[in-house]
Amino acid sequence: MVDIAVELFGLRFKNPVVLASGPSGNGKEAIEVFDLAKLGGFTTKTVTWEPRQGNPPPRLVEIYGGILNSIGLENNGIECFIKEELPLLKDVDTVKIVSVGGDTVEEFAQMVERLNDIPYVDVIELNLSCPNVENGGISFGKSPSMVRKVCETCKKMSPKKPLMAKLSSDVTDVVEIASEAIKGGIDGLTLINSVQGMRMNIETGRPYLLRGVGGMSGPCIKPIGIWNVYQVRRAFPDIPIIGTGGVMNGEDVIEYIMAGANVVGIGFGAIVDFDLPYRVIDEVKVFLKEHKYGSIRDLVSKRGDIQ
């Protein structure tokens, strides 16, 4: 018997696989499609203070080894989310991670304050890739001082819940950004969000996506995710990390754990094949067994030094 459970923030993840924020929806869609209780955790699609329609189409285009999207945080807003969508997750036996995104520090803080009082929310994740309207529209996650400020302010609002920050790889120095989040009191980090990119339509001479730039997801970004997780783990040996980006099989999960992740998120992989997350969990078990690791903890204790 191998033990694939992971403990983080005093919470038990039955296995190291969580659904990443976005691709699998906000609860309702995910419950219809996935057996969430088989997963270590589920992250809701990012919810914002006000409802958002998202960006106009076209907002998805295929790329080698993934997709490029500019969905633009389409959602029904925090009120509707708390009243109608979140309660659907209440009795689901998995770790529930709620992702929030704000235009301002105050919006982030108000949402965190609301979620802090809901007993069945296990973890709150700040999506720092959101543009900051008070700072010229530059995303929160690109400014070290804003990362610190938003984490510090939100931490005061979430005394009961672990607070995570989801970072982008589209920065000069991910370790500096992680460091500011940690100084701001963050309890854990999710790395990485989708990676900025563009595709041109050579018939029209315009970008495929109406908005031009989009975020790349899927196996094409896995080495970027691994490198970001590795750098942050090397700098901060103890901070809990959810490694995300391009996971398609059990070996990808093992690779992220060896790079320093505690738990691993799946986005793209879960929407190209709805059975993929369970298969990945089985493959993790097989790997541990074949390599004679008794548990994830055993795997972590025997991995090479991160230096």
Instruction: Give catalytic residue positions.
Output: 130
CA-based nearest residue to 123, from 83, 165, 168, 80 = 165
What are the distances in angstroms from CA 45 to CA 22, 125, 149?
Answer: 4, 10, 23
**Locus of tokens 């997709």:** 67
Q: Which segment (19-27, 34-42, 169-177, 277-285) binds ligand FMN by CB under 6 A?
A: 19-27
Question: Any contact of residue 214 with ligand FMN (CB under 6 A)?
Answer: no
Structure tokens, 27: 């609860």
Mapped onto helix, strand or coil, the DSSP state of residue 17 is strand
Taking the complex as a whole, the smallest distance from the CB of residue 298 to ligand FMN amounts, in Å, to 26
User: By rule CB under 6 A, what string of x and - marks binding of each residue 110-129 to ligand FMN?
Assistant: -----------------x--
Residues in region 150-209 near ligand FMN by CB under 6 A: 166, 193-194
Q: Which segment (10-18, 173-181, 196-204, 243-251) binds ligand FMN by CB under 6 A?
A: 243-251
Of positions 17, 18, 22, 299, contacts ligand FMN by CB under 6 A: 22
**Locus of tokens 């920065």:** 171
Structure tokens, 169: 């790889």
On whether the CB atoms of residues 147 and 178 are closer than 8 A, the answer is no
- DSSP string across 177-238: HHHHHHHTT-SEEEE--PEEE--EETTTTEESSTTS-EEEESGGGHHHHHHHHHHHHHH-TT
- Is the torsion defined by CA of 135, 97, 121, 234 positive or negative? negative
Beta strand 206-207 with 200-201 is antiparallel
Taking the complex as a whole, the smallest distance from the CB of residue 87 to ligand FMN amounts, in Å, to 20
Question: Any contact of residue 250 with ligand FMN (CB under 6 A)?
Answer: no
Q: Which lies closer to ligand FMN via its Cβ, residue 2 or residue 139? A: 139
Of positions 98, 247, 259, 281, contacts ligand FMN by CB under 6 A: 247
Q: Which lies closer to ligand FMN via its Cβ, residue 2 or residue 26? A: 26
Question: Any contact of residue 130 with ligand FMN (CB under 6 A)?
Answer: no
- Give the side-chain half-sphere CA count within 13 A for 198: 10
Of positions 2, 8, 18, 71, contacts ligand FMN by CB under 6 A: 71
Question: Any contact of residue 48 with ligand FMN (CB under 6 A)?
Answer: no
Which residues bind to ligand FMN, rule: CB under 6 A? 20-23, 45-46, 67, 69, 71, 73, 99, 127, 166, 193-194, 217-218, 221, 244-247, 266-269
